[in-house]
Amino acid sequence: MKRRSILMTVIATALSLAIPGGVVKASGAFTQTVHFSLFRATVPVTCAGAMTGVTAANATGNGVGHQTGNANGSWDTSTVTGDGTITISPPGTTYQGHIQEWDGF
């Protein structure tokens, strides 16, 4: 569960940095949808726990991220699905196949 939270935090941060200043309205409310086909993430977590190595995901497929904010707060969701690899180091084991990820906060 921690791996997923860290990975989605990285994705949400990247999406929030992608918001151009022009989409913010005078009221401060905004919404944005971003479509992407490449998914790459590296997090300092392995199956043994946090800070025990690195898990890297690399996939090609379909992804979409949504971000909405207003005076009450902000909401982020993202979904990605495609084919790719996940490498866990150490020991350097690589898994290949279908990758699917969803998160929202």
> SS3 of 39, please?
strand
What's the pLDDT at 76? Answer: 93
What's the pLDDT at 18? Answer: 53
pTM to 2 decimal places: 0.60
Question: Which amino acid makes up residue 51?
Answer: M
Give the tens place of pLDDT for each residue, 42-98.
Answer: 888 888 888 889 999 999 999 999 999 988 888 999 999 999 999 999 888 999 999
